[in-house]
Structure 1
Amino acid sequence: MILNNLKPLFKSMQDNKIKRVRFPFSMANAVFDVFFFVDERPFTLMFGAKGLNFYFEVPVKNGFDIDPILDNNVYNTLCKILGLKYDPNQKFSPRIFFQEFDKKIPHNVSAQNVPKPHHVATYRKNVEENDKIFFMKWLDNTIQSHDVRPENLEKTKRILGYEAYIRCKQKNISSCWTDNESKAVDFYLP
């Protein structure tokens, strides 16, 4: 299934030199934080249900092509979140969800749409110290004769992106995180 409205969004991202964006999407009873990551291969769409412990990711192949089939658990939870009940006269499928989403994809974005690390970390919880969602600083491991841990590199890649991951790996730098929002700093590349 082609998501045609990802094309102008991608163009706007390129024009503004943005690799990750966040925008809202509403359908039925649900409001989602949607993230579009073009620094991942394949590109990734991430849908996080606001205020709920639910998110899923969809790979975006060349030509803005997605597979509209969802895992059964994801599909069932999505139906509950949307407030849908089985009705043979009004069928619902993931394809319908993605068609509705495609109609509401913004065509223009700006720096205001760039997600902060904690926005991503709120949903991507399968990382080390997943309660620590606020970026705090960089730590140069060479100074203390340590190597950056693979788990930290994975968190860096999943939350901050591929470019941060590569720099940290090359320079032996760890990303440091906190659960205290007052200690958070704006993200910058090392």
Structure 2
Amino acid sequence: MKLEEIKPLLSDMRKNNVTKDKFTFTYNQVNFEVIVLIDCKPFELLFGVVGHNFSFILNLYPGFQLQNLPDYVFFKLCEILNLKPGKDTFTSFAFLKYMASKIPNQYSRVNIQPHEIIPYKVKDIPDAEKKYFCGWKMYREDSPYSAKNFEKTREILGESTFIFCKEHNISSCWTNEVEKRKDYTPPEII
């Protein structure tokens, strides 16, 4: 399906130099949260079903082509939404078209924190239990140690942050202790 409804949001995100945004919508009295990530190829839409232990990721390809819902996602949504699959009851196309109608035109100005993204990508990242960002560790050129956590940095913080960290020998630091959590700031600002 072509998701042209997302064009204004993506344009406003670029204009504001942000790579992550979030919006919510309700379908059949069930709340959904969608995080839009544009610092990856393809772009990603992370869907979370609020109050249910279920989330999924759909890729957004060039030309605004949105990945179809995988069958297992569709049937789980049928269960959560208490709807029967079928042309006259519930289809993946109807769900995605409805979601498209709820995409805002402007960036929300909400700073998405890394721990909000990790639940969606838990199977793709090392040390997923360490979900709270707690800072940066910079290594000098003459240090016998070198930066690590590059894959986690790429998956959670985006491609441009990953490249910057790799080029400047910087590690992203993570903890499982919420009281040690810090608000995310890009490494070039600290």
Structure-1 residue corresponding to 2:137 = 139
**Aligned-residue offset at 1:144:** 5.0
Q: Is the 8 A contact 2:43 2:61 kept in 1?
A: yes
Note the 1:148-159 alignment, pairs <5 A. 148-149=147-148, 152-159=149-156
Say how many residue pairs are matched: 185
Q: Aligned to 1:59, what secondary structure does the other structure show?
A: strand
Q: Aligned to 2:129, what secondary structure does the other structure show?
A: coil
Gaps of at least 5 residues in structure 2 are: none
**Aligned-residue offset at 1:6:** 0.2
Provide closer, same or farther for how the CA distance between residues 80 and 116 of structure 1 changes in structure 2, counting only shifts above 3 A: same
Computed over aligned residues only, the root mean square deviation of the Cα atoms, in angstroms, reads 1.9
Provide closer, same or farther for how the CA distance between residues 31 and 144 of structure 1 changes in structure 2, counting only shifts above 3 A: farther
Verify: 1:189 aligned to 2:186, yes or no.
yes
Structure-2 residue corresponding to 1:163 = 160
Residues 85-116 of structure 1: CA distance to partner in whole angstroms, max 9, x if unpaired?
Answer: 35x5733221111100011111112422x311
**Aligned-residue offset at 1:165:** 0.9
Read off the aligned partner of 1:102 and give its amino acid letter.
A
Read off the aligned partner of 1:80 and give its amino acid letter.
E
Provide the C-alpha distance between the structure 2 equivalents of 1:145 and 1:171, rounded to a whole number of angstroms. 15
Percent of paired sites with the same residue: 34
TM-score by length of 1: 0.88
Provide the C-alpha distance between the structure 2 equivalents of 1:166 and 1:51, rounded to a whole number of angstroms. 35
Selected match of 1:106 from 86, 98, 104: 104
Q: Is the 8 A contact 2:57 2:120 kept in 1?
A: no
Note the 1:36-115 alignment, pairs <5 A. 36-68=36-68, 70-86=69-85, 90-112=88-110, 114-115=111-112
Q: Is the 8 A contact 1:29 1:83 kept in 2?
A: no
Q: Aligned to 1:123, what secondary structure does the other structure show?
A: helix
Provide the C-alpha distance between the structure 2 equivalents of 1:172 and 1:31, rounded to a whole number of angstroms. 41
Provide the C-alpha distance between the structure 2 equivalents of 1:104 and 1:40, rounded to a whole number of angstroms. 23
TM-score by length of 2: 0.88
Q: Aligned to 1:185, what secondary structure does the other structure show?
A: coil
Read off the aligned partner of 2:79 and give its amino acid letter.
K
**Aligned-residue offset at 1:44:** 1.2
